[in-house]
Amino acid sequence: MSQMKNILSDMKKGYQVVSGGYNAIRNISEGNFSLHEVFLDGLMLVSPEIKKYRRVSDIITYQKHIISEYKAAFRRFGASGNFNLNELDYLGRVYKKLFDQSVDNLDELAMVITSAKLRMSDDERLRAIDRIFSDVEDKLVFLRDFNSKASSLSLAREKERSDLKQQMELYR
């Protein structure tokens, strides 16, 4: 009987060691998870420096330029009479694609500067904003070059029409 008590006592001690070890491991892992959770939650909070980053306002300003410049150019090209319907359709498709990509950039910017959308460090957010800025800047440069070439074509056609009209008047 005494041997049985010793065995039960040893089993109880073993159980307590195992249980204590398990609880210690569980507490450590939960503590680690809590730290991990705090870190991830911190990544979702956007610091004021990110929201005030000058590139954010630059992106919005460039987006406004893209929209106002493409609308003005498209109206001007349509009213000029120097482009046929197929050419105006092509210009419209280019502008639509540019507009759609611009909306995508604004959506991505909103996700980057809104805390509940993405889990990112401040450095990752700054890099994402810089990448978006670069893309928007490229689009604005493309738009201005595209509009410049279309304007040159429009002016060349206007001049050609004017020259033709002058020649017709000379031979009357």
pLDDT digit string (tens) for the chain, length 172 residues? 566 556 656 555 554 544 554 454 444 444 444 444 443 454 455 777 887 889 988 998 999 999 999 999 999 999 999 999 999 999 999 999 999 999 899 889 888 887 666 678 889 989 999 999 999 999 999 999 999 999 999 999 999 998 888 888 888 7
Nearest Cα to 41, choosing from 151, 153, 121? 121
Q: For residue 117, how many other CB atoms are within 10 A of its CB?
A: 14
Q: State the pLDDT at residue 117.
A: 60
Cα diameter, the chain = 136
User: Angle 117-120-122 (CA atoms, 0-180°, nearest 5)?
Assistant: 120
Per DSSP, the three-state class of 52 is coil
Q: State the pLDDT at residue 48.
A: 78
Per DSSP, the three-state class of 81 is coil
Nearest Cα to 150, choosing from 102, 87, 86? 87
Letter string b/e over residues 65-97, b meaning 16 or more CB atoms within 10 A of that residue's CB:
ebbebbeebbeebeeeebbeeeeeeebeebbee
Contacts of 76 (CB under 8 A, 6+ apart): 151, 154
Q: State the pLDDT at residue 112.
A: 87
Q: State the pLDDT at residue 3.
A: 63
Q: State the pLDDT at residue 50.
A: 82
Q: State the pLDDT at residue 65.
A: 94
* Dist. CA 134–CA 128, nearest whole Å: 10
Nearest Cα to 133, choosing from 16, 55, 42? 55
Token pair of 61 as six digits: 């300003």
pTM above the 0.85 mark? no
Q: For residue 18, how many other CB atoms are within 10 A of its CB?
A: 10
